[in-house]
């Protein structure tokens, strides 16, 4: 759970999730689209259905669990980097805090807009780095 000097995820109850929040479903970070909580029955606890969209792949995912059950919530860290080079479909970046160099795929919406030498934010989500905008 610990990587470096930060936590990758935290824990929340399903009923504590809100639309626009984040949740890990099948170890994939997702943005919550809808949380529906059914009323409890005569002999059972209330159930919650969470519909979400993957932050990195755009896939729809959902889970159904008791409303009081815990789920993992990813911690999203925004960092700054400088573009060193563009190599085909990938961009080489240097983190501006620890000066580490790494390469990432260029998202479709950013192709043709990146220039070497400029600063760009990137996000680290459960150990995965991306320059895709997380809103």
Whole-angstrom CA distances from 11 to 5, 23, 33, 38, 126 are 18, 9, 18, 22, 13
pLDDT in tens, 44-81: 788 999 999 999 888 999 999 998 899 999 999 999 99
Average pLDDT across the chain, whole number = 88
**Percentage of the chain with pLDDT > 70?**
93
- Pull the structure tokens for residue 100: 């580490």
The reported pLDDT for the residue numbered 7 is 62
> Where do the domains of the chain lie, and which CATH numbers do they carry?
2-74 (2.30.30.30), 76-130 (2.40.50.140)
pTM greater than 0.75 (yes/no): yes
How much is the average pLDDT of 127-133? 87
The reported pLDDT for the residue numbered 44 is 77
């Amino acid at each position: 759970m610990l990587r470096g000097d930060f936590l990758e995820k935290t824990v929340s109850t399903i009923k504590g999730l809100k639309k626009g929040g984040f949740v890990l479903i099948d170890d994939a970070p997702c943005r919550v689209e809808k949380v529906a909580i059914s009323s409890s029955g005569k002999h059972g606890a209330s159930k919650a259905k969470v519909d979400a969209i993957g932050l990195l792949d755009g896939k729809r995912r959902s889970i159904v669990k008791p409303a009081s059950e815990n789920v993992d919530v990813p911690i999203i860290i925004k960092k700054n980097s400088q573009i060193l080079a563009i190599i085909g479909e990938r961009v080489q970046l240097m983190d501006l805090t620890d000066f580490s160099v790494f390469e990432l795929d260029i998202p479709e919406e950013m192709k043709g807009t990146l220039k070497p030498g400029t600063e760009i934010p990137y996000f680290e989500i459960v150990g995965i780095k991306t320059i895709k905008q997380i809103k």
